[in-house]
Amino acid sequence: MRRKGRCVAGTVSVLAGGVVTAALAGCASSSKGAASWRENGPQASWPVHVAAASPEAAGKYLVQISGCNDCHTPGYSQTNGKTPVSQWLIGQRIGYRGPWGTTYASNLRLYVAPMSEEDWVHVMRARNDKPPMPWQSLHAMSDRDLRAIYRFIHSMGKAGEPTPQDLPSGQEPRTPYVVFDPPTAPR
């Protein structure tokens, strides 16, 4: 779509685990530039990030649309997203069990508290841990968007308690859990 002589292209991709990642990119004013973006994805020279009134507002938006609350906020899905922002990202005691063991959605507000913004970006770029966390979605985000998420989470302050430790495969969880182990189809 064109605004004041500038073309703004947007894309939304559904990724593993129902996570949605949104990216907005400025594009060349020619239709050839827009066509190239649609065919090949954003080019390194184009700024790819969410534009908002502040980094914290961009971070809040990214947290909402990226599915962070689905796992990291108790009751978010059950309330159809009406959980108060003050309760967002405090983690859950519900495990996600699969062949890898059982993982828990951490309390991101406690996780982020001792980190610097640089540490957050580095960890989000380097970490490839167990499912169902969609690490590939974080790896695809721009540094600016990762920083925005950090600033939003950090702005909310510490809240909640630490979540249980992840468990190895074969160890029975003592908390409720969701099974992520589809049966094999009959041959």
The pLDDT value given to residue 80: 95
**What is the Cα–Cα distance from 76 to 22, expressed in whole angstroms?**
20
The pLDDT value given to residue 50: 87
- CB neighbours of residue 87 within 10 Å: 16
Partner residues linked to 179 by β-bridges: 97
The pLDDT value given to residue 182: 76
**What is the Cα–Cα distance from 126 to 164, expressed in whole angstroms?**
23
Strand order from edge to edge, sheet including 167-168: 167-168, 101-104, 95-98, 177-179
**What is the SS3 assignment for 35-101?**
HHHHHHCCCCCCCECCCCCCHHHHHHHHHHHCCHHHHHCCCCCCCCCCCCHHHCCCCCCCEEEECCE
pTM: 0.73
Kindly give the confidence (pLDDT) of every residue in the chain, 187 residues in length, as a single tens digit, with 9 standing for 90 and above: 333 333 333 333 323 333 333 333 333 333 344 444 445 544 444 468 888 899 999 999 999 999 999 999 999 999 999 999 999 999 999 999 999 999 999 999 999 999 999 999 999 999 999 999 999 999 999 999 999 999 999 999 999 999 999 999 999 999 999 998 777 777 7
**12: DSSP letter:** E
The pLDDT value given to residue 185: 74
Nearest to 96 by CA among 13, 185, 164: 164
